[in-house]
């Protein structure tokens, strides 16, 4: 039996919102509402959508989650930069008995990349002659730095390399602390998103890079998440919804 597609609301009508709108319509989703700063979500309005997809800003997404979860609406959150309050939002979604999927990056390719980074980190853990660094690049309009994807990469690497006991996200203007994973960022131009894990030694260098060609992958991933979370309760990361696909792959 084919699952009925959820009715979608788009929260944030910038470049990402427009790509989601086009792909959603192409795939047969019905978009009931589009919200932006000129047409914000009204806490007192009774809306007809099933799932809201939020690609807004860190300073607005928290309020959006509060309003939407209070209305019993499922939410897909592609906005980054709000993770310091993730436990609070988790508790709120559970309390309101609704569903939410969050992700630092909704590209399925990035989720594959995370697994590659994890495996590479486990290899490096046994080889002291190799050091690891991360660099990410995004367009000049991106509000947060480092990217949420880079933060997830840092957690994966430091969780699997014993000698990396912390992370340094700021510019280093002196001696490098070998116990810190250095994560650097560049903002400029129209770069959709590029993340690289550098594995370096005296003998050679390995560069593991995910390079987003455009926003299509993020939009497709957000629609996949919206379809998955429809009629579900709970607080999930985007990686969790791919578990069924990759369940037989060893960690």
Active site residues: 138, 142
DSSP string, 131-151: EEEEEEEE-TT--SSS-HHHH
Contact 182, 153 (CB under 8 A): no
């Amino acid at each position: 039996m084919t699952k009925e597609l959820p009715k979608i609301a788009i929260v944030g009508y910038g470049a990402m919102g427009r790509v989601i709108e086009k792909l959603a319509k192409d795939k047969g989703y019905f978009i009931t509402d589009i919200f932006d700063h000129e047409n914000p979500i009204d806490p007192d309005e009774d809306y007809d959508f099933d799932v809201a997809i939020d690609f807004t800003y860190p300073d607005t997404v928290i309020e959006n989650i509060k309003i939407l979860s209070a209305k019993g609406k499922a939410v897909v959150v592609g906005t980054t930069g709000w993770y310091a309050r993730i436990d609070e939002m988790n508790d709120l979604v559970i309390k309101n008995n609704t569903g939410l999927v969050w992700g630092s990056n909704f590209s399925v390719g990035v989720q594959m990349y995370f697994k590659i980074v994890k495996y590479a980190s486990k290899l490096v853990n046994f080889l002291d002659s190799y050091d690891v660094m991360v660099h990410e690049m995004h367009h000049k309009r991106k509000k947060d730095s480092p990217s949420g994807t880079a933060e997830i990469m840092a957690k994966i690497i430091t969780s699997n390399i014993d000698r990396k006991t912390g992370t340094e996200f700021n510019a280093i203007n002196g001696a490098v602390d070998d116990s810190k994973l250095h994560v650097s960022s560049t903002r400029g131009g129209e770069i959709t998103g590029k993340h690289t894990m550098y594995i370096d030694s005296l003998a050679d260098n390995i560069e593991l890079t995910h390079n987003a060609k455009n926003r299509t992958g993020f939009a497709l991933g957000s629609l996949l998440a919206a379809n998955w979370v429809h009629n579900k309760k709970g607080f999930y990361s985007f990686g969790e919804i791919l578990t069924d696909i990759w369940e037989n792959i060893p960690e």
